[in-house]
Amino acid sequence: MAESANTHPCADDEDMPELSSGDSGDDQEQWQWTEEDSQQVSCLFCDRLLNSVTATLQHFTFEHQVNLIDVIRKYNLDDYSYIKLINFIRSSKCDPSHLMGLPDGPFQWESEDFLRPVIQDDPLLQIDLEDLCGSQGKFASTFKQSVADAHHHALLQRATKAEEAVARSFEDLQKLKLLVQDLVLNAEPGRSTNVSGVAELRADEDEAYFSSYGHYGIHEEMLKDKVRTETYRDFMYRNPEVFRDKIVLDVGCGTCILSMFAARAGAKKVIAVDQSDIIYQAMDIVRSNKLEDKITLLKGRIEDIKLPVEKVDIIISEWMGYFLLFESMLDSILVARDLFLHDGGSVYPDLCNLSLAAVGDKQRYQERIAFWDDVYGFNMSCMKKVVVPEAVVEVLNADTLISEPTVIQTIDCNKVCLSELEFSSNFCLKITNTTDCTAIVGYFDVFFDKGCCNKVTFSTGPQVAKTHWKQTIFQLEKPFPVQAGEELQGKITVCKNKKDPRSLFVTFDLRDKKLTYCVQ
Ligand code: SAH
């Protein structure tokens, strides 16, 4: 994805070329199709006139951050409700941002009145939904590429916006820190913060990311995490009916442990993909276990790889990072899902809950934060401004919890879109102890649920056996008193860090204060 950033067709519609699938064998077909498609289309959300339906779809994605295919899938639209939706948008001039975030129906466009076209011969009403959304449809190959590019473009745009918002709320010292980082980056010859500079930076970061997974130590730690590994194993061994005769894709196979579980559970074929060098060990491991006939290993990024089959029945992966979303590997699972999963196929694990709870731990506060007030008789309290915003990944003593936990986000890996991985959520923590609140803790739970006779789950919370994810602790610079029975209201915003999209910014609105943390 990053490679296309330099040549990405951006906001200028006049110059916007039709994106091709990049497969030169399709050039003829592509050209014919583009000709057929050449008719003026007026945008649903602004005054622009576009030269074709495809250019319009691209314009929606790049300019308005609306992927029409995602909208159709999200609301399960059939031909009639699609027509109503288009006419509804044209007549109501509704804001594009509303489209992806509506609660369950009934929807405003359901009235039969919206079957009447707002624009005569509207080309958007002449689209066959199968052509648009079906894997064999004439828009499919072109739009698949365009969506991948759009994801990248949208990521850049959202990250820019998120970073601006975060920068405004940061304390002075943090602003200074970012400024210095910027200066350092810009001072390096050949580096700048323009789009190609960012792409270059991304490629370097990706290399560092994958090389970290090339070391055996990290895989040893994951394999020894019994809660994690045994849950994956139990899910597959206890639900053989899910795997029998299925083609399974293991995204980020590492040592191939999940692929081997799937093979033993009865899968017909397992395709195991990993970009890191650990895959060379995995090849030996698979051979040593005489599973080479069942498991095909491929080295590469899932975003770039060509699979030996067109579609798979099941995607398995262990993609979860600290505070669930650190590492952004879920982005890659969504790409794999949208490219390779059969309609009706399943991604496992399928459900994840992200939760928060309040913490009252005066001793930890004393050791970590108040410590800086007097260090061998010197005042270093300015250090708090840089220490506090770094979320800490550690095992929390469950006795220090002072509220009931609350789920702030549920992610369904079979349905979620990329844009929903950055979100805001209001929360309410029911306080159980009268004391000082010194921190907020975050953790996640994982569920193997869809179509399973024997559902399995594990939690990374402080109340149960620890995992290598531990918990993520957001320490408060200034603790505040809370009363048992009180409801502590707040809002959490999770977004990616533009400079390092695998790390996260987490902002809390709590007791009239805005507190921003980096999970890195
Ligand atoms: N499945 C293994 C390893 C999980 S760690 C297990 O459960 O033990 C995640 C693995 O995903 C790493 O080895 C990493 O290199 C790989 N990975 C992450 N993103 C990837 C991508 N986009 N394409 C291919 N491999 C990826």
13 pLDDT band, cuts 50/70/90, is: very low
Predicted pLDDT at 146:
61
Predicted pLDDT at 4:
30
Pocket probe for ligand 1: among 151, 202, 207, 210, the residue whose CB has the most ligand atoms within 8 Å is: 210
Tens digit of each residue's pLDDT (9 = 90 or more) over 278-304? 999 999 999 999 999 999 999 999 999
Of residues 422 and 101, the one with the higher pLDDT is 422
- Residue boundaries of the structural domains of the chain: 38-134, 167-211, 216-318, 351-519
CB of 253 closer than 6 angstroms to any ligand 1 atom? yes
Say if residues 256 and 285 touch (Cβ distance below 8 Å): yes
CB of 278 closer than 6 angstroms to any ligand 1 atom? yes
CB of 273 closer than 6 angstroms to any ligand 1 atom? yes
Predicted pLDDT at 203:
73
pLDDT, averaged across the chain = 85
Count of helix runs (H) and strand runs (E) in the chain? 16, 17
Q: For residue 382, is pLDDT > 60?
A: yes
pTM of the model: 0.66
**May I ask the CATH class of domain 351-519?**
mainly beta
Atom of ligand 1 nearest to the CA of 300: 24
Predicted pLDDT at 130:
80
Q: For residue 111, is pLDDT > 60?
A: yes
Q: How far is the CA of 317 from the centre of ligand 1 (A)?
A: 8
Q: For residue 37, is pLDDT > 70?
A: no
Q: For residue 404, is pLDDT > 80?
A: yes
**Span 297-314, average pLDDT:** 98
Say if residues 408 and 354 touch (Cβ distance below 8 Å): yes
Fold match between 216-318 and 351-519?
no
Catalytic site positions: 318, 327
User: Which CATH code is given to the segment(s) 216-318?
Assistant: 3.40.50.150
Say if residues 6 and 195 touch (Cβ distance below 8 Å): yes
133 pLDDT band, cuts 50/70/90, is: confident
Predicted pLDDT at 140:
57
Nearest to 181 by CA among 393, 516, 498: 498
Predicted pLDDT at 496:
95
Q: For residue 74, is pLDDT > 50?
A: yes
Does residue 103 sit in helix, strand or coil?
coil
Query: Which protein residue has the closest C-alpha to ligand 1 atom 18?
Result: 252
Which tokens belong to 313? 């029945």
189 pLDDT band, cuts 50/70/90, is: very low
Q: For residue 180, is pLDDT > 60?
A: no
Predicted pLDDT at 35:
39
Nearest to 173 by CA among 474, 492, 478, 387: 387
> Could you please report the per-residue DSSP string of 114-178?
GGS-SSTT-GGGG--HHHHHSTTSTTHHHHHHHHHHHHHHHHHHHHHHHHHHHHHHS-HHHHHHH
Predicted pLDDT at 354:
98
pLDDT > 90: percent of the chain = 59
Give the β-pairing of 341-348 and 312-316: parallel
